[in-house]
C-alpha cells in the first residue's frame, strides 16, 4: 500500500470523517478512496479554522485534520496553526514535504523546523515504513495532555512509496489523570471557608465535558460562576449564579463579584494574561486547577493548585466539599442570586437604549439583541470575530447549553470566525451556526464563503458593515483625518450572492428580525446566508476600569 493510502486508512481508524485540505497532497485523493469526505477550501487558513472547530465542538472526540502541499501550502497555513496553538486547540496538520533529496536544503520551506513553536509535536517522516509509528505518536499527543496542534510532515516522494505489508495500527487512547488527593482536600477546605468565592471556568471544562459537575459544585458552594471567552457556555448564563463570561468587555455583575471575591477558583483554565480575558484583581487569592502544570504560577500566583483533568478534579472536589458541608448548601444562594440579579438589571438598564436602539445606521447592539431573541439559542452555535464585534457580542449573548459559543482570543486573527462557523456546522449539522464579524474581518477570509456554498455548509454569516475599522479610530486619528486610513468599503450582500449564497443588506431596525428569519430559512434549505447590516461606527463597550 502506498504511504498516502496508509495515512488515509489510519485517519479512518482514528474516526476522521472529513479531511479538510488544499492541493497538492496525495493524502487528499487517498482519503476520498476510503470514503473520508474531502473538503477543499479557498485558502489554507480557513481550512485549519474549520478543522479547529471540529475538534472544539466535539470536545476533542473527533480530531480535525488538515492537509496541504509542501512549500506554499505549508507557508500559507502558518496563521491557522498559530491561532489553534494560541487558543489551545487539538488538530492534526499534515503538510507535504519537499522530495527527500531537497527536503532540508534552503530555501525550501521545512514545516518540521518552522512549526516547532506553534505545535506541541512536530515530526518529519523520512521512511515510508515509519508512517504508522509517526501517526500513532501524533494522535497520541493530540488526544492527551494540553490540547494543541500536532504536525506530521510527509515528503511528497515518500507518500508515493510503498509501505510493506504487515503494518498495523491501533487508534490512540485518550488518557486522563486526576489531581493529588491532598491538594483536593486543601482546595475544598479553602472553598468552603471562603465567604465570597468565585468560580472561573476555562475550556478545560468543555474538553472534559464536565458541565454537570461544574454546575453541581457551583450550586453546592452557592458560588457565582464566570468563564473565560474560550470557556463560555460551560455554565448556563441564564443561571441565577452566572456572572456571564470574561472577555475584553464584561457584565457589571462579573466586574463587581470578581473584585470582591475572597477566593477565585480557576478550573480548566490557564489564567494567561490577555486583553481578551477578564483580568484577575491585584492581590486576589487564587486556587488554580488545570491539566497543564506549565500554567501554574505562570501569569498569576496560585496560593493553591491542582493538576489534572477538569472532570476528575471537579468530581474529587465535589466529594470533599459535600463531606465538609454535610451534603447540602448552606442557604446562601438566594442572597448571592439577588445581588447578581440586581447588578445585572442595573447593567442591562444602562445598555437597553443601545440594545433596542431605533437609530440608523443601525446600532450593532440592536442587531445582536434582535439576533439573540430570534434564534433558538440552545440550538445555535455562535462565534465572534476580532475587532468590535467580539466585544459587542460576548457580554450580551447568553448561552444556555454547552458548546454553543466558540470563544477565542489568546491571539485574535481577523477572519477566524468564518472557518469556525463552517467547522461547527460540519460537526453539528442540526445546529444553526453563526459567525458575527466586521467588514475588516471579511477582508481576510471572505472568499471562503464560496467554500460554504460549494461544499454545502449552510452557515449564517452576520456582517456588521460600518465601512471602517472602527476599533482603530481612537488610535489612528491623524491617519484617518489625513489619509482616511481606517476607511474600507464593499457591498458584501452582493458579494455573497455573486458567490452563489443568499445575501441581503439591512439598513432599517424594523427589518432586522424578518431578514434573520429569511436567512435562517435559507440555511435550512442548504444555502449559506450572509446578512450585511449597515451599522454605525460604535466605539462604546461594556468595559470597567
Ligand atoms: C490578522 C489581524 N491583523 C490585525 C488585527 C488588528 N485588528 C483588530 S480589530 C481590527 C479592525 C476591525 O475592524 P472591523 O472588523 O471592521 O470591526 P469594527 O471595529 O469596525 O466593528 C484590526 C485591524 C487583527 N486582529 N488580526
Ligand atoms: Mg468595521
Mutate which of 48, 83, 413, 438 for ligand 1? The one with the most ligand atoms within 8 Å of its CB, which is: 438
pLDDT at site 540: 96
pLDDT at site 201: 98
pLDDT at site 545: 83
Nearest ligand 1 atom to alpha carbon 438: 15
Q: How far does the centroid of ligand 2 lie from the alpha carbon of residue 472, in Å?
A: 9
Ligand 1 contacts (CB < 6 A) are 386-389, 412-414, 438-441, 464, 466, 468-472
Q: How far does the centroid of ligand 2 lie from the alpha carbon of residue 537, in Å?
A: 7
Q: How far does the centroid of ligand 1 lie from the alpha carbon of residue 248, in Å?
A: 14
Protein residue with its CA nearest to atom 10 in ligand 1: 387
**Euclidean distance between CA atoms 137 and 359, whole angstroms:** 57
pLDDT at site 417: 98
pLDDT mean for each 10 residues of the chain (545 residues): 98 98 98 98 98 98 98 98 98 98 96 98 98 98 98 98 97 98 98 98 98 98 98 98 98 98 98 97 97 98 98 98 97 98 98 98 98 98 97 98 98 98 98 98 98 98 98 95 96 98 98 98 98 97 94
Q: How far does the centroid of ligand 2 lie from the alpha carbon of residue 2, in Å?
A: 49
Q: Distance of CA 149 to CAs 58, 82, 93, 207, 448, Å?
A: 16, 9, 7, 15, 22
Burial bucket for residue 282 (CB in 10 Å: 0-12, 13-18, 19+): exposed
Nearest ligand 1 atom to alpha carbon 413: 26
Nearest ligand 1 atom to alpha carbon 389: 21
Q: How far does the centroid of ligand 1 lie from the alpha carbon of residue 145, in Å?
A: 32
Nearest ligand 1 atom to alpha carbon 79: 1
pLDDT at site 265: 99
Give the contacts of 522 (CB within 8 A, at least 6 positions apart): 458, 502, 528, 529
Q: What is the reported pTM?
A: 0.98
Provide φ and ψ at 50, rounded to 5°. Answer: -65, -45
Q: How far does the centroid of ligand 1 lie from the alpha carbon of residue 442, in Å?
A: 10
Q: How far does the centroid of ligand 1 lie from the alpha carbon of residue 472, in Å?
A: 8
Nearest ligand 1 atom to alpha carbon 468: 20
CA proximity to 284, closest of 307, 310, 257, 252: 257
Provide φ and ψ at 53, rounded to 5°. Answer: -70, -35
Dihedral (Cα; 73, 74, 80, 86), 10-degree rounding: -170
**Euclidean distance between CA atoms 493 and 496, whole angstroms:** 5
Protein residue with its CA nearest to atom 1 in ligand 1: 413
Helix (H) / strand (E) containing 370: helix 364-372
Nearest ligand 1 atom to alpha carbon 538: 21
DSSP string, 437-498: EEHHHHHHHGGGHHHHHHTT---EEEEEE-SB-GGGGGG-HHHHHHH-TTB----HHHHHHH
Protein residue with its CA nearest to atom 8 in ligand 1: 387
Q: Distance of CA 96 to CAs 69, 93, 175, 306, 413, Å?
A: 5, 10, 30, 40, 25
Amino acid at each position: 500500500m502506498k504511504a498516502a493510502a496508509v495515512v488515509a486508512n489510519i485517519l479512518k481508524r482514528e474516526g476522521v470523517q472529513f479531511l479538510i485540505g488544499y492541493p497538492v497532497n496525495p493524502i487528499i485523493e487517498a482519503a476520498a478512496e476510503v470514503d473520508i469526505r474531502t473538503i477543499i477550501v479557498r485558502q489554507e487558513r480557513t481550512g485549519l479554522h474549520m478543522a479547529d472547530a471540529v475538534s472544539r465542538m466535539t470536545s476533542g472526540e473527533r480530531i480535525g485534520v488538515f492537509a496541504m502541499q509542501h512549500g506554499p501550502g505549508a507557508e500559507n497555513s502558518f496563521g491557522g496553526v498559530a491561532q489553534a496553538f494560541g487558543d489551545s486547540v487539538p488538530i492534526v496538520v499534515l503538510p507535504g514535504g519537499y522530495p527527500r533529496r531537497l527536503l532540508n536544503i534552503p530555501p525550501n520551506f521545512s514545516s518540521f523546523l518552522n512549526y516547532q513553536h506553534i505545535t506541541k509535536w512536530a515530526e518529519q517522516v523520512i521512511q515510508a515504513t515509519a508512517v504508522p509509528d509517526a501517526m500513532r505518536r501524533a494522535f497520541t499527543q493530540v488526544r492527551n495532555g494540553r490540547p494543541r496542534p500536532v504536525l506530521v510532515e510527509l515528503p511528497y516522494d515518500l507518500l508515493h512509496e510503498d509501505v510493506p505489508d504487515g503494518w498495523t495500527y491501533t487508534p490512540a487512547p485518550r488518557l486522563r489523570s486526576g489531581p493529588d488527593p491532598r491538594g483536593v482536600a486543601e482546595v475544598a477546605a479553602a472553598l468552603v471557608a471562603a465567604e465570597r468565592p468565585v468560580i472561573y471556568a476555562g475550556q478545560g471544562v468543555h474538553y472534559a465535558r464536565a458541565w454537570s459537575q461544574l454546575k453541581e459544585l457551583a450550586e453546592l458552594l452557592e458560588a457565582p460562576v464566570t468563564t473565560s471567552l474560550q470557556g463560555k457556555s460551560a455554565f448556563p448564563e441564564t443561571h441565577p449564579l452566572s456572572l456571564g463570561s470574561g472577555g475584553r468587555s464584561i457584565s457589571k455583575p462579573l466586574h463587581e463579584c470578581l473584585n470582591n471575591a475572597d477566593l477565585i477558583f480557576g478550573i480548566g483554565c490557564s489564567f494567561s494574561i490577555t486583553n481578551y480575558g477578564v483580568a484577575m484583581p491585584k492581590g486576589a487569592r487564587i486556587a488554580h486547577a488545570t491539566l497543564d502544570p506549565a500554567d501554574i504560577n505562570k501569569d498569576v500566583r496560585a496560593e493553591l493548585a491542582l493538576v489534572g483533568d477538569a472532570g476528575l478534579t471537579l468530581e474529587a472536589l465535589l466529594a470533599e466539599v459535600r463531606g465538609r458541608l454535610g451534603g447540602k448548601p448552606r442557604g446562601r444562594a438566594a442572597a448571592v442570586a439577588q445581588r447578581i440579579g440586581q447588578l445585572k438589571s442595573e447593567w442591562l438598564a444602562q445598555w437597553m437604549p443601545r440594545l433596542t436602539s431605533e437609530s440608523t445606521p443601525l446600532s450593532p447592539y440592536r442587531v445582536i439583541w434582535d439576533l439573540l431573541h430570534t434564534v433558538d439559542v440552545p440550538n445555535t452555535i455562535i462565534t465572534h470575530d476580532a475587532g468590535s464585534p467580539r466585544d459587542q457580542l460576548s457580554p450580551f449573548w447568553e448561552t444556555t447549553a454547552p458548546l454553543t459559543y466558540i470563544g477565542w482570543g489568546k491571539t485574535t486573527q481577523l477572519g477566524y470566525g468564518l472557518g469556525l462557523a463552517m467547522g461547527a456546522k460540519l460537526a453539528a449539522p442540526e445546529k444553526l451556526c453563526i459567525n458575527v464579524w466586521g467588514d475588516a474581518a471579511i477582508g481576510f477570509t471572505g472568499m471562503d464563503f464560496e467554500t460554504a456554498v460549494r461544499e454545502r455548509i449552510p452557515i449564517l454569516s452576520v456582517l456588521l458593515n460600518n465601512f471602517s475599522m472602527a476599533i482603530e479610530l481612537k488610535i489612528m486619528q491623524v491617519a484617518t483625518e489625513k489619509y482616511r486610513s481606517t476607511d474600507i468599503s464593499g457591498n458584501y450582500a452582493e458579494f455573497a450572492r455573486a458567490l452563489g449564497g443568499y445575501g441581503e443588506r439591512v439598513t432599517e431596525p424594523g427589518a432586522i428580525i424578518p431578514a434573520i428569519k429569511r436567512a435562517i430559512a435559507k440555511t435550512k434549505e442548504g444555502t449559506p446566508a450572509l446578512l450585511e447590516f449597515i451599522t454605525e461606527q460604535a466605539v462604546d463597550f461594556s468595559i470597567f476600569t
